[in-house]
Amino acid sequence: MNLSLDVKNFSFNLNQILKTSKGILKEKKGWLIKVKTSSGDCGWGEVAPIDPCESVQCKQILDSLGSFPLRENLEKAIKSGPGALGFGIGCALAEIDELNISGKRKWHLAAPQSAFLIPNDSSCLAKLDSIIAKSKENKQRIFVKWKVAIQSENIEKKLMAKILDRLPKNSKLRLDANNGWNRSQAIYWANYFANDSRLEWIEQPLPIDDLEGLFTLSKLIPIALDESLLKYPLLKNQWRSWQVRHPALDGDPRGLIKELENNVTRISISTAFETGIGRRCINHLAALQQQTLTPTAPGLGPGWRPKGNLFSNNPFSVWEAL
Ligand SMILES: [Mg+2]
């Protein structure tokens, strides 16, 4: 199969700066890729690492592939490059393979209702009120994610009490500390939620390397790993509580499809704030997650990305938007 490869740069600002305990995220940038077969089928991918060193590596590998890469070299780049590169190339190859085999689009499933990501500052309460009001209108159960370990403990304790006053009984809350707590802080919050069934999980409460502390905490309450999985991918086969996966940073999505189809439980699909091209794949994976034995709302950050053709569900429109 003769292939051509086109690459375009993209960047966009989030609607709002995302604060985490490890810094801020306000802009996403990277490359969109189009792989075309000699029969004219197109596969699309998005390569957008968050780590600046990985950006340099991705750029070097994309440049080295040239305009007419061998399929073999694309598969090699997936294995040797950063996860974000594997995601983009894997998405595109899976798409042209599906077109070749069945004539159908690969990334066609629509995402289920997402969890809501509310900001960490005091504006979170107004945001939460409007989410709750809408959910009552639509009679929908809500999932809410709140980033913690950003402000002083005192402020966050007060805000948490106000959030819990508001959250309906059947809703679910995810706290994401982005490895910002120490063990005693994490134990405080584990005990705080011991009898509150609204807590779905605490995400990455402890430093990436404190696997012993994370394991001990997971005996008390559900603990979702995020950053630890990126550093120690083998944990994906070992961690029995929740795992937050960011497919756009994680590598070839064909591997994740296999896990979901083999019913690996407690995987949560989460966004890394994609353009429309990457998002089609995330949506599809989130829909597959719903069919596992532990369905839960994906974390797609509704309302955090701008509007426009760059975020269209039609890859041709996304490509033309640049
Ligand atoms: Mg996280």
Mean pLDDT of 83-102: 97
Q: 226 CA to middle of ligand 1, Å? A: 5
Q: 168 CA to middle of ligand 1, Å? A: 23
What are 256's two structure tokens?
């994740």
Which pLDDT belongs to residue 183?
A: 97
Q: 195 CA to middle of ligand 1, Å? A: 23
Give yes or no for residue 22 having a pLDDT over 90.
no
- Identify whether the C-beta of residue 68 lies closer than 8 Å to the C-beta of residue 5: yes
Give yes or no for residue 308 having a pLDDT over 90.
yes
- Banded pLDDT at 86 (limits 50, 70, 90): very high
Please, what are the domains in the chain?
A: 3-105 (3.30.390.10), 116-289 (3.20.20.120)
Mean pLDDT of 62-72: 98
- Identify whether the C-beta of residue 278 lies closer than 8 Å to the C-beta of residue 46: yes
Mean pLDDT of 26-41: 97
Q: 188 CA to middle of ligand 1, Å? A: 20
User: Among 27-31, 173-177, 233-237, whose mean pLDDT is lowest?
Assistant: 233-237
Residues with CB under 5 Å of ion ligand 1 are 176, 203, 226
Which pLDDT belongs to residue 82?
A: 96
Exposed / middle / buried, residue 195 (Cβ in 10 Å: 0-12, 13-18, 19+): exposed
User: Helix, strand or coil for residue 76?
Assistant: helix
Give yes or no for residue 248 having a pLDDT over 90.
yes
d(CA 178, CA 183): 14
Q: What is the mean pLDDT of the chain?
A: 96
Q: 309 CA to middle of ligand 1, Å? A: 27
Q: 191 CA to middle of ligand 1, Å? A: 21
Q: 63 CA to middle of ligand 1, Å? A: 31
What is the value of pTM for the model shown? 0.95
Mean pLDDT of 97-108: 96
What are 194's two structure tokens?
């011991």
Q: 99 CA to middle of ligand 1, Å? A: 34
In terms of DSSP bridges, do strands 116-118 and 143-147 run parallel, antiparallel, or are they unpaired?
Answer: parallel
Say what angle helices 52-65 and 71-80 make with each other, to 10 degrees.
170
Q: 204 CA to middle of ligand 1, Å? A: 7
Which pLDDT belongs to residue 190?
A: 96
d(CA 183, CA 185): 6
Q: 305 CA to middle of ligand 1, Å? A: 17
Give per-residue pLDDT as tens, 261-304: 998 889 999 999 999 999 999 999 999 999 999 999 999 999 99
Q: What is the dihedral of CA 148, 153, 155, 158, to 10 degrees?
A: 90
**Rounded percentage of the chain residues whose pLDDT exceeds 70:** 100
Which pLDDT belongs to residue 21?
A: 82
Give per-residue pLDDT as tens, 173-232: 999 999 999 999 999 999 999 999 999 999 999 999 999 999 999 999 999 999 999 999
Q: 267 CA to middle of ligand 1, Å? A: 13
d(CA 98, CA 101): 5
Taking the mean position of all CA atoms in its chain, how far away is CA 283?
10
Q: 311 CA to middle of ligand 1, Å? A: 22
- Banded pLDDT at 258 (limits 50, 70, 90): very high
Mean pLDDT of 238-255: 96
Q: 244 CA to middle of ligand 1, Å? A: 7
- Banded pLDDT at 67 (limits 50, 70, 90): very high
Q: 74 CA to middle of ligand 1, Å? A: 29
Q: 117 CA to middle of ligand 1, Å? A: 11
Q: 167 CA to middle of ligand 1, Å? A: 21
Q: 94 CA to middle of ligand 1, Å? A: 27
Which pLDDT belongs to residue 51?
A: 92
Give per-residue pLDDT as tens, 8-19: 999 999 999 998
- Banded pLDDT at 249 (limits 50, 70, 90): very high
